Chain A
Amino acid sequence: MALVKASEQSPHIGTEPDSRDLGSLLVDLVAAEPSVRRSAARRLVVYPEAAMAVCDRLEGEGSPSVRAMLFTALIHQKSPAVAGRLVSFLRSEDVPLRNAAIEALQDMSDAVVPHIQGLLSDGDSDVRIFAVNILGALRHTQAPEWLAGVVRTDPHVNVCAAAVDALAEIGGLDVLVDLEALRHRFQGDVFMKFAIDAAMGRIRGQ
């Protein structure tokens, strides 16, 4: 997970000029001492051209605090290219890395948009679930409609259940008809009925 949300910029992770040049910071990024790597990651925030190098460090980084700083630096970049690299981590077997990527993508709003349709049509249902989890916290005006689309068309019960959960948080009254249709599509599934009832109640403000 990143250390700070994008909307909560710390003065330590700002865009002040840095005396260290990019080359030195990239060397420090693979130093043996975690504090040196962490410091380099923090200073690389002001170098968008280093974003891919920062991404490359994520998988091999063993220190949770350094990894968190790497994610923080990437969130500040907010580019579709960075989002694309983070999207690739949704297939990782490294669960903390995958979860941190999901949290980072949730904070990248417009940078994630070019990747949404691809994620929602991925052949792996778990990747689609992670996409739904991202949408639920993306704070993007189209997120409810994308989630309603999942509810209307996705064949997998767990993907739809994740979308129902997200719509309970951000959906409006216009998605109730889609939730009702989903109830019929998965008739007989006790959990889905429970989730839909709970979501509809929350959307109606009950």
Chain B
Amino acid sequence: MNQLKSRERTIREVSKATARVLVVDDGITQRMFYRSVLETAGFVVEEAVNGMEGYEMALIHPFDLLIVDINMPKMDGYAMMRMIRSDAAVRMVPAVMVSTEGEASDVVKAFEAGANYYLQKPVQPDELTDVARMIAGVAL
């Protein structure tokens, strides 16, 4: 019961302010697409081009949700998520991992790295919006 109240409080608190999403993907078109969909849904969107930049931005700015691609140069999504989950300052931020890879083993690896949800590309707008709202706990 207490957990439920806590959850309700979190949803209300996030709803009052504008929910912030960090999109981490090396593909410019992917980032533009996520931004377009999520901003239309009412989110504020920031972008990072690889896992290292994403991790550093997550440390500096508070985000309500991370959308993280897996295959990226410099630092891949798995490595970024492992760093996020091992850092007390940001370990609780919800994260959705996205990849072209749809094998069961890829999904398992994403969850093992710390993802709360997994989406396979190409991501459809309604699916992205619904998942972002659900995982971020936002009633936009």
> Smallest CB–CB gap between B100 and chain A, Å?
4
Contact, CB under 8 Å: A96 / B76: yes
- Report how far A39 CA is from B100 CA in the complex, Å: 38
Bound: A198/B72 CA distance, A: 21
Closest B residue by C-beta to A99: B73
Asked if residues A191 and B123 are in contact (CB atoms below 8 Å), the reply is yes
Shortest C-beta distance, B72 to chain A (Å), equals 7
Contact of B122 with A192 in the complex, beta carbons under 8 Å: yes
Contact A99/B71 with A165-B27, A165-B28 known, Cβ cut-off 8 Å: yes
* Residues in B70-84 with C-beta less than 8 Å from chain A: 70-74, 76, 78-79
A126→B100 contact, CB < 8 A: yes
Q: Which residue of B lies closest to A186 (CB)?
A: B122
On whether the beta carbons of B71 and A95 are closer than 8 Å, the reply is: yes
Given known A-B contacts A99-B71, A126-B101, A161 and B76 have beta carbons under 8 A apart: no
On chain B, the residues within 8 Å of A131 by CB distance are none
| Given A1-B74, A126-B101, A194-B36, A95 and B79 contact (CB-CB distance below 8 Å) | yes
Q: What residue in chain A is nearest B76 (Cβ atoms)? A: A95
Q: Is the CB of A161 within 8 A of B121?
A: yes
Cβ proximity bits A44-76 to B, threshold 8 Å, 1 near / 0 not: 000000000000000000000000000000000
A29 within 8 A of B: no
Contact A125-B28, Cβ < 8 Å, known A1-B74, A158-B121, A194-B36: no
Binding site for A on B (CB under 8 A): 27-30, 32-33, 36, 70-74, 76, 78-79, 100-101, 121-125
| Smallest Cβ-Cβ distance to A199: which chain B residue | B29
Q: Which residues 140-165 of A have a CB within 8 angstroms of B?
A: 157-158, 161, 164-165
Task: Say yes or no for A129: interface residue by CB 8 A criterion.
Answer: yes
Given contacts A129-B100, A158-B122, A165-B28, contact A191 B73 (CB under 8 A): no
Q: How many whole Å from B14's CB to the nearest CB in chain A?
A: 26
For B33, the closest partner residue in chain A by CB is: A194
Residues of A within 8 A of B125 (CB): 190
- Of A125, A161, A191, the most chain B CB neighbours within 10 A belong to A191
B26 (CB) vs chain A CBs: closest residue: A133
A195 at the interface (CB under 8 A from B): yes
